[in-house]
Structure 1
Amino acid sequence: MPPLTGPALWTRLVVIGALWGAAFPLIRWLAFHLPPFALAGVRGALAATAVLVFLWFRRELPGIGRSVVVAALLLGTLNGVLPNTLMPMALQRIEAAPASLVQAAGPLVVTLLAAAFLPGEVPTRRMLLGVAVGFCGIALVIGPDGLGGGTLLGAALVFGATFSYAVGTIWLRRADRGPAAALALAQQAVSAVLSGSLALAVDGPGALVQPPQVWVVAVVLAIFATAVPLTLFLGLVTRARAADAAMVGYLQPVFATAIAAAWLGEVPSWRVLAGGAVVLAAIWLVTGRR
């Protein structure tokens, strides 16, 4: 089957980018109410429940074979526990817009990893130029003021989550992963169990005693900014080139910035916007028609 291109690819990317972009302001708000491990556990548990209900209504509950179990254990860590814990830590120190722009480095990291581990996806000079341009944009987003204090640490934590996602994307392209729906469900279940165990050990059950509005935002995060886009992305990554699938990371900042400005009042500075423009220019170089 040829890889997705054109409108079919872009429709999926925009929908996934919008939903995942909303996660940044949602996590930013929740990070000041729930400890990181507790937030990761709650997000995983609610998302797993949402995926389970969705598949049950569609009568698509698949059998979970050995390949899905192995994949879920790895992806539950790479795409679940690690980023779901690192992002709340980061968003306690950095606003939603710059955080989403740092994570936009995803296609850049995937391009470099694909060159090393996917023989059929050797980057061209134009793609490598795009990688360089993209990292310059990330540096502009962080800015000279971010070289000290919480901003740099926050950006480093976001990049750690981004690298973890990129490794998961590359592994998905190489591995026997099983049905996307089964993998989405199992991945979130693994993430919930691991993160929940850490939360109970580190924070105790008292961390989950929260007012109703916290749980409303947590449910929105789990369903609309986690379960739905994850299921869509796992289906996309099996049909698109690795760099094209990771391109969703470039679209997230647009929605993250708009929602953060409207809901949280976090209007980005001109430097962050300029850096974002540079990062978005890199998408054209990395993923444009070659």
Structure 2
Amino acid sequence: MSAAAAAPLSVSGLWLRLLVIAGLWGSAFPLLRYVAPAMPPLAVASVRALLSAIAVLAFLAATGKLSRPRGATWWHILAVGTLNGWVPNILTATAMRGIESAPAALIQSASPLLVGMMSLLLLREEKPGPATFAGLLLGLLGIGLILGPRALSGGADLGAALMMLGTAASYALGTVYVRRVRPEVPEHLVLGQQVVAMLVAAPMALALHGVAVLDQPAEIWLVLVLLGVTCSTVPLSLFIALLGRAPAAKASMVSYLQPLFAALVAAAWLEEWPAPQVLLGGMVVLAGVWITTRR
């Protein structure tokens, strides 16, 4: 069945997928924060994309779903590989050197509002209703509470915050693009995105840092494997499949849930404890998610 013909999801089905995807993607922020002091951003982005591409390729080959893209699919792969691949990968890996996990995830959670705004111009069949706008605005209010001066005083700088905002905009464009083209074979975009991200980031990383940058301790490589497979390949595959069964604005609400998981993992692993206003803002964000995703 093609993505365009897939049946719409129920509210419970949408929530289940949002929570799983957000949990895996949100965990990527503490992982990136952990490897940031050890590897340059371009190297992290390259290895992440390479491991993700290998995982997707192995899965498609094992399940007999590996096929060759045709026609306009090549252009879709290039577009998604840029918007959802190397651009946000490099921006995020660079930003995590100057910002903690929870604030970084929360800045990126502005993506649903950007998707809603872009849908007005690019997705004529998905005009957001009053409830959608109310939920998005409430979610932004929660983000404002979290990104107050005290929340950003834990080591974040303006440059890192702007990079995360650029990541949010890039993901928003990618979400709207995938929803608009409705790929017949989503697996092509899942694999192609990682390959494009690797082909762009790897030459730059090798030119600037050489192969010596790959000489890392075992624990760094373990984190990179988790980052590339568990926190990239799996949630990406689930998200592209979700875009075939849910409106772009609702599917992108996964960005609002990621900060909660990022904060939990960062607190337990890196001892990055969120401030009280961060917790309050998270509750407001959840209320916005509920308003936007309810039937």
When normalised by structure 1's length, the TM-score is: 0.93
Q: What is residue 55 of structure 2 aligned with on the other side?
A: 50
Note if 1:246 corresponds to 2:220: no
1:101 alignment partner, one of 101, 106, 123 = 106
Q: What is residue 222 of structure 2 aligned with on the other side?
A: 216
Distance between the aligned counterparts of 2:238 and 2:274, measured in 1? 29
Secondary structure of the corresponding residue to residue 65 of structure 1:
coil
CA displacement at 1:203 relative to structure 2: 2.6
Q: What is residue 4 of structure 1 aligned with on the other side?
A: 9
Q: What is residue 185 of structure 1 aligned with on the other side?
A: 191
After alignment, is 148-157 or 255-264 more displaced? 148-157
How many residues align? The count is 289
Q: What is residue 172 of structure 2 aligned with on the other side?
A: 166
Query: 1:24-51 CA deviation, whole Å, 9 max, x = no partner?
Result: 1111111111111111111001100010
After alignment, is 127-136 or 215-224 more displaced? 127-136
Report the residue type matching 1:7 in the other structure.
S
Q: What is residue 157 of structure 1 aligned with on the other side?
A: 163
After superposing on structure 2, the runs of 4+ consecutive aligned residues of structure 1 that deviate more than 4 Å are none
Note if 1:38 corresponds to 2:43: yes
Distance between the aligned counterparts of 2:153 and 2:211, measured in 1? 37
Note if 1:85 corresponds to 2:90: yes
Query: 1:94-116 CA deviation, whole Å, 9 max, x = no partner?
Result: 11112112222221111111112
Distance between the aligned counterparts of 1:127 and 1:177, measured in 2? 25
Check 1:273–1:288 CA distance in 2 against 1; reply closer, same or farther (3 A cut). same
Distance between the aligned counterparts of 1:232 and 1:285, measured in 2? 23
Distance between the aligned counterparts of 1:228 and 1:148, measured in 2? 31
1:110 alignment partner, one of 108, 115, 118 = 115
1:110-129 superposed matches below 5 A = 110-129=115-134
Which ranges of structure 2 fall in alignment gaps of 5 or more residues? Answer: none
Q: What is residue 75 of structure 2 aligned with on the other side?
A: 70
Note if 1:234 corresponds to 2:240: yes
CA displacement at 1:204 relative to structure 2: 2.6
CA displacement at 1:225 relative to structure 2: 0.3
After alignment, is 247-256 or 44-53 more displaced? 247-256
1:196-207 superposed matches below 5 A = 196-207=202-213
Check 1:97–1:149 CA distance in 2 against 1; reply closer, same or farther (3 A cut). closer
Report the residue type matching 1:163 in the other structure.
A
Which ranges of structure 1 fall in alignment gaps of 5 or more residues? Answer: none
Distance between the aligned counterparts of 2:226 and 2:267, measured in 1? 18
Distance between the aligned counterparts of 1:151 and 1:220, measured in 2? 27
Report the residue type matching 2:54 in the other structure.
T
CA displacement at 1:148 relative to structure 2: 11
CA displacement at 1:7 relative to structure 2: 2.2
Report the residue type matching 1:105 in the other structure.
A
Report the residue type matching 2:181 in the other structure.
A
Report the residue type matching 1:97 in the other structure.
A
When normalised by structure 2's length, the TM-score is: 0.92
Aligned partners of 2:99 and 2:154 also within 8 Å: no
Distance between the aligned counterparts of 1:120 and 1:243, measured in 2? 12
CA displacement at 1:280 relative to structure 2: 2.0
Aligned partners of 2:266 and 2:273 also within 8 Å: yes
Aligned partners of 1:184 and 1:231 also within 8 Å: yes
CA RMSD of aligned residues (A): 1.9
Aligned partners of 1:101 and 1:279 also within 8 Å: no
Query: 1:43-80 CA deviation, whole Å, 9 max, x = no partner?
Result: 00110001011111112112222333211111111101
Distance between the aligned counterparts of 2:92 and 2:242, measured in 1? 23
Distance between the aligned counterparts of 1:149 and 1:185, measured in 2? 35
Secondary structure of the corresponding residue to residue 72 of structure 2:
helix
Query: 1:140-168 CA deviation, whole Å, 9 max, x = no partner?
Result: 21212449983333222111101100100
CA displacement at 1:131 relative to structure 2: 2.7
Distance between the aligned counterparts of 1:41 and 1:253, measured in 2? 24
